[in-house]
Amino acid sequence: MKKDFLTLKDYSADEIEYILNLSLEIKKNKDKYCNVLKGKNIAILFDKHSTRTRLSFEVGINQLGGNAIVLDAKSLQLGRGESYVDTAKVFSLYIDGVIIRTFSQETLEIFAKYGSIPVINGLTDKYHPCQVLADILTLKELGMLNKKVKFVYIGDSNNVANSLIIGFSKLGIDITICCPEKYSPAKEILEYAESQKNGSRVYIVNNPVDAVKDADVIYTDVWFSMGQEMDDSKLAELKKYQVNSELLKGAKKEVKIMHCLPAHPGQEITSEVLYGKNSIVLKQAENRLHAQKGLLVYIWKVIQGNKE
């Protein structure tokens, strides 16, 4: 049975909770799952630069007993114009799954539609579900994934923000998005969150001081994603959304600072805060490995029915 992971919309709240619990179990006892992907060949097809996503998947696949095949479009016939439709069909003849990191969400949807193997979203311009899976795993590990947490995302409403909104709304947890009105989340993302009808709310706040009041967690990301050119007007609008020591004064004393990395210290966050005692960014990065392994085990052992 095929099961793609193109966005967190693809999985129910119960499935997400299952993967989180499985990830924590794997983190504690990785040897128990070391043969789940034995005999499986999984491609990692990246059109964008990557550190954490590539390393966590490549290492994770190997630790689960599988073989990771790292590719890029330029080295394939895709680079000479072969269609994604044909590529998806050919991939399905040779390999057992593919992780794609690219620009357009449509590319993943084509692979999922025309291929017969599981497709995992390693990042697109629209969504970054694997990152957010690791983020909510980190909160769960800290005992902070609950309805009482005040979670504030500050900055540009990008692919990470989109996936955070979807993930939190799936789990019935409120989330505050703090951004300039011009850079608010897309209507379709907010409508999806509202459609969950489980009591969770997405609060859009334009004033950072108001947004972080009594915050338990403050999350930020770069203002210019991969492939975006520096824009002076956008930079000027986002300057007051920098996460710095002054802004943190309004949050709870033990507020946790999150960032998906890579960061641009001096833009969206100061070095003092990024590397300070409240920062959990390295725990997030570490949990990319465990969350991705949980996802892989769920797809190939639970859904596909493979035995250890």
Q: Domain extents for the chain? A: 8-128+288-303, 143-279
Q: Identify the pLDDT of residue 308.
A: 44
- The neighbouring-strand residues paired with 279 are 257
Cα–Cα distance, 282 to 275 (Å, whole number) = 9
Q: Answer yes or no: same fold for 8-128+288-303 and 143-279.
A: yes
Give catalytic residue positions.
101, 128, 131, 221, 260, 288
Per run of 10 residues, the mean pLDDT along the chain (length 308 residues) is 92 97 96 95 95 97 98 86 94 97 96 97 98 98 97 97 98 98 96 95 98 98 80 91 98 98 96 98 98 97 69
**Coil, strand or helix: which one is 302?**
helix
Q: How far apart are CA 204 and CA 208, in angstroms?
A: 11
Strands 119-123, 151-154: pairing kind: unpaired
- pLDDT of 307 reads 46
User: How many beta carbons lie within 10 A of that of residue 73, not counting itself?
Assistant: 18
Enter the pTM of the model.
0.96
199 vs 171: CA distance, rounded Å: 10
For 8-128+288-303, CATH gives 3.40.50.1370
Alpha-carbon torsion angle 129, 135, 140, 144, nearest 10: -120
Strand partners for 257 = 218, 279
pLDDT of residue 306: 56
- Which tokens sit at 249? 């004064």
| Partners of 99 in the β-ladder | 44, 120
- Nearest in space to 120 (alpha carbons), one of 86, 140, 141, 96: 96
* 148: Cβ contacts below 8 Å, ≥ 6 apart: none
Superfamily of domain 143-279: Aspartate/ornithine carbamoyltransferase (3.40.50.1370)
